[in-house]
Amino acid sequence: MSGGSSSGPGAAVAVRLCFGSLGSGTKASIRVPAACCGVVGLKPTHGRIIRYGGMTRSWSNDCVGPIARTVMECALLMQVLAGHDPKDSSSLSAPVPNYLAALEQGVSGLRIGIPTRHFADGVDD
């Protein structure tokens, strides 16, 4: 099994049929196929990559994101794909960050939140 609706792009990247590909995610259809295929999938901020020309499943949730073999390759794809398009009213008009430079910053100082009760609410001991 190679994941959800973006399983084709995930499998194609995993077996090196292509450098990278695009997945579409309404729920986890970028990240799950990437995880199942042992590659990297990124669901970017909503509107960072345009959706113009794609088939809409859920206008408020649909997202396009890169699938590649490594984090650096995903950053390269984001650098090319991110940006505003007047044909897509949901695309961000904010400046595109330098994703490759951000990789050099590392993760020092970042915090990870872990819910302590979320999964156990309403469950008997």
Q: Write down the pTM of the prediction.
A: 0.81
Task: List pLDDT tens digits, range 65-96.
Answer: 999 999 999 999 999 999 998 988 888 899 99
Q: What tokens does 101 get? A: 């430079």
| Cβ–Cβ under 8 Å, residues 74 and 31 | no
* H or E stretch at 96: none
| Cβ–Cβ under 8 Å, residues 16 and 60 | no
Give pLDDT, residue 82: 93
Give pLDDT, residue 3: 73
H-helix segments, the chain: 7-14, 31-37, 71-81, 99-104
Task: List pLDDT tens digits, range 22-65.
Answer: 888 767 788 899 999 999 999 988 888 887 666 666 666 678 89
Classify the C-alpha dihedral 4-59-48-27 as positive or negative. Answer: negative
Query: Could you state, in order of their start, the residue ranges of all structural domains in the chain?
Result: 7-103
In 3D space, the residue among 64, 26, 32, 29 whose CA is nearest the CA of residue 47 turns out to be 64
- The Cβ-side half-sphere exposure at 86, using a 13 Å CA radius, reads 0
